């Protein structure tokens, strides 16, 4: 038997073991990090080991790995397993294309392009726009920032110096925006963090005031980043109003939809991103609410040329055949690039746009179900905006951080905590496509019995 055939069999045995463990032991056994880093069993040595020994080790590693696809994982903005997307990703691993050229990626490049075309249409952005799959929302935000920088100061890229560029986002926006200002040479101190209102959306009056104050000082406002689904509360910025401001001052408008941008798939919830068609750049993560394997991030640009101008560089050894329109390497940050398109294409093709909308609708319904439970129970306090997939609450007067830690260390379930303004709370994220009411009921039961037994 060839080694690959043999290893495919090993894989299916290990996959079986993983699925069983997810059921029987949904929160992994925790090794103290000190012991994990020092475990001789996992050290790399001079001598080989045989397959049966290797399988044992891999099984043990599976046992010790947090089970993000189990029904007890509520900890992050991803979780669960959307099986059709998983299928597509397995194939992508086996095909192992690199997505820089049509020559190396072939039809895969066309599938990726189809994702951009269809996503632009759903977002209401012109089909003459373009896109690129990127390794995460943080990188999408970085690319948007670089496009905006080059638009406001076209020599900056070349000379490395220029105007003082100022960017604006809400105080609840993702932390990548701050880092990205540093990466881009625009300076972290030139990111203005604008206050949010009680609903978690940016205060547009404060935004305007801040922009005007920068103009007065001789700075050049170059980018406003709106968030569609803030990382903690899942709040939506008022996109239409922000677009008005960007138009008025001629500023690049990016919408960070890493968390909840996929509301574009839902007829019921796309109103939350009203005005999105006016964005210059927009990104969403299919590995969050849609349940595709990580990473699966779509970055879109209204203006195809701007995307290319910021990321193109000549490389005669690489771009040897086909025009630039067919070689995505001319608009990407990386050189070699993993195929993140096939998993989303497979999911989208199999379920249809309607099916993806249904995934989104079901998440919102389930979040409402959880919120209803909280509202009907006097032992709970609820926080956060109404239309959100982040269910923020406290139970009795338990300290949220302590309770989350206890749930985790006792192997009950994984959930995190967050804060908004002066409130600290537990944050139950409803993104796992495999969760139903049953898992939500189970979540509260487990939480209550763990809290009441302390």
Ligand X SMILES: *Cc1c(COP(=O)(O)O)cnc(C)c1O
Q: At what angle do helices 3-24 and 51-64 cross, to 10 degrees?
A: 30
Measured from the CB atom, the residue of 289 and 404 that comes closer to ligand X is 289
**Torsional class of 96: left (φ above 0), alpha (ψ -120 to 50), beta (otherwise):** left
How far is CA 353 from each of CA 94, 255, 349, 350, rounded to the nearest angstrom?
Answer: 26, 21, 8, 9
| Residue (285 or 301) nearer to ligand X, CB | 285
Q: Given the complex with ligand X, which of 130 and 256 has the nearer CB atom?
A: 256
What is the closest distance, in whole angstroms, from the C-beta atom of residue 139 to ligand X in the complex? 6
Distances (CA, A) of 434 to 30, 291, 387, 431: 24, 9, 21, 9
The rounded distance, in Å, linking the Cα atoms of 435 and 132 is 30
CB of 167 to ligand X, least distance (A): 15
Nearest CB to ligand X, comparing residues 76 and 204: 76
Q: Please identify, using beta-carbon distances, which residue of 140 and 374 lies nearer to ligand X.
A: 140
Q: How far is the CB of 256 from ligand X (least distance, A)?
A: 5
Positions touching ligand X (CB under 6 A) are 77, 136-138, 174, 176, 227, 229, 231, 256, 258-259, 285, 295, 297
Shortest distance in whole angstroms from residue 226 CB to ligand X:
10
For 25-93, the DSSP string reads -SSPPPPPHHHHHT-GGG---SS---HHHHHHHHHHHHHHS--TTSTTEESSS--S--HHHHHHHHHHH
- Whichever of 141 and 301 has its CB closer to ligand X, that residue is 141
> What is each CA distance from 367 to 98, 356, 370, in whole angstroms?
38, 17, 5
Minimum CB separation from ligand X for residue 106, in Å? 27
The least distance separating ligand X from the CB of residue 117, rounded to whole angstroms, comes to: 22
| Alpha-carbon span 168 to 181, nearest angstrom | 11
By beta-carbon proximity to ligand X, the closer residue of 97 and 227 is 227
Our CB check for ligand X shows the closer of 266 and 295 to be: 295
- Return the residue matching tokens 């939506």: 236
Q: Which residue is nearest to ligand X (CB)?
A: 137
Nearest to 388, CA basis, from 369, 405, 367:
367
Phi, then psi, of 319 in degrees rounded to 5: -90, 80
290 vs 447 by CB, closer to ligand X: 290
- H helices present in 217-280, as ranges: 239-249
| Cβ-count burial 298-337 (b if 16+ within 10 Å, e if not) | bbbbbbbebbbbbbbeeeeebbeeeeeebbbbbbbbeeeb
Contact 332, 100 (CB under 8 A): yes
Give the residue with the Cβ less far from ligand X, 284 or 373.
284
Q: What's phi and psi for 296, nearest 5 deg?
A: -145, 80
80: left (phi over 0), alpha (psi -120 to 50) or beta: left
Taking the complex as a whole, the smallest distance from the CB of residue 412 to ligand X amounts, in Å, to 25
Q: Min. distance of Cβ 174 from ligand X in angstroms?
A: 3
The answer to whether residues 173 and 257 touch, using CB atoms and an 8 Å cutoff, is no
Handedness of CA 265, 253, 133, 67 (dihedral sign): negative
Our CB check for ligand X shows the closer of 166 and 285 to be: 285
| Least Å from the CB of residue 172 to ligand X | 9
Measured between alpha carbons, how far is 445 from 300 in angstroms, rounded to an integer? Answer: 42
Whole-number minimum distance, CB 259 to ligand X, in Å? 4
Q: Nearest approach, Cβ of 9 to ligand X (angstroms)?
A: 33
């Amino acid at each position: 038997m060839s080694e690959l055939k043999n290893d495919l069999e090993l894989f299916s045995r290990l996959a079986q073991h993983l699925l069983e463990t997810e059921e029987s032991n949904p929160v992994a056994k925790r090794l103290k990090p000190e012991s994990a880093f020092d475990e001789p069993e996992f050290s790399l040595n001079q001598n080989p080991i045989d397959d049966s020994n290797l399988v044992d080790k891999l099984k043990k590693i599976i046992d010790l790995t947090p089970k993000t696809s189990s029904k007890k994982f509520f900890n992050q903005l991803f979780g669960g397993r959307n099986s059709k997307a998983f299928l597509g990703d397995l194939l992508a691993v086996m095909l192992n294309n690199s997505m820089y050229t049509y020559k190396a990626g072939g039809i895969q490049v066309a599938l990726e392009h189809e994702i951009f075309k269809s996503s632009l249409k759903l977002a209401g952005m012109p089909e003459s726009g373009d896109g690129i799959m990127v390794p995460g929302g943080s990188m999408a935000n970085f690319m948007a920032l670089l496009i905006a920088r080059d638009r406001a100061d076209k020599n900056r890229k070349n000379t490395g110096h220029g105007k003082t560029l100022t960017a604006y986002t809400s105080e609840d926006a993702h932390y990548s925006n701050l880092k990205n200002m540093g990466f881009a040479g625009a300076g972290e101190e030139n990111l203005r963090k604008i206050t949010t209102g009680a609903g978690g959306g940016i205060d547009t009056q404060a935004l305007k005031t801040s922009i005007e104050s920068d103009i007065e000082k001789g700075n050049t406002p170059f980018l406003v980043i709106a968030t569609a689904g803030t990382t903690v509360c899942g709040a939506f910025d008022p996109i239409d109003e922000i677009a008005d401001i960007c138009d008025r001052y001629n500023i690049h408008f990016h919408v960070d939809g890493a968390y909840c941008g996929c509301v574009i798939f839902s007829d019921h919830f796309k109103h939350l991103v009203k005005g999105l068609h006016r964005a210059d750049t927009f990104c969403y993560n299919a590995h969050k609410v849609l349940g595709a394997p990580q990473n699966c991030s779509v970055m879109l640009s209204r203006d195809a040329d701007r995307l290319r101008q910021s990321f193109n560089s000549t490389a005669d050894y690489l771009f040897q055949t086909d025009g630039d329109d067919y070689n995505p390497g001319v608009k990407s940050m990386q050189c070699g690039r993993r195929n993140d398109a096939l998993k989303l294409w497979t999911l989208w093709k199999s379920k249809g746009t309607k099916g993806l909308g249904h995934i989104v609708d079901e998440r919102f319904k389930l979040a409402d179900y959880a919120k209803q439970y909280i509202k009907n129970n006097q032992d709970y306090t609820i926080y956060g905006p109404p239309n959100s997939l982040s269910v923020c609450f406290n139970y009795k007067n338990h300290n949220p951080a302590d309770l989350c830690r206890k749930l985790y260390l006792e192997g009950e379930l994984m959930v995190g905590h967050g804060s908004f303004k002066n409130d600290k709370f537990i944050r139950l994220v409803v993104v796992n496509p495999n969760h139903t009411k049953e898992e939500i009921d189970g979540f509260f039961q487990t939480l209550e019995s763990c809290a009441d037994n302390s």
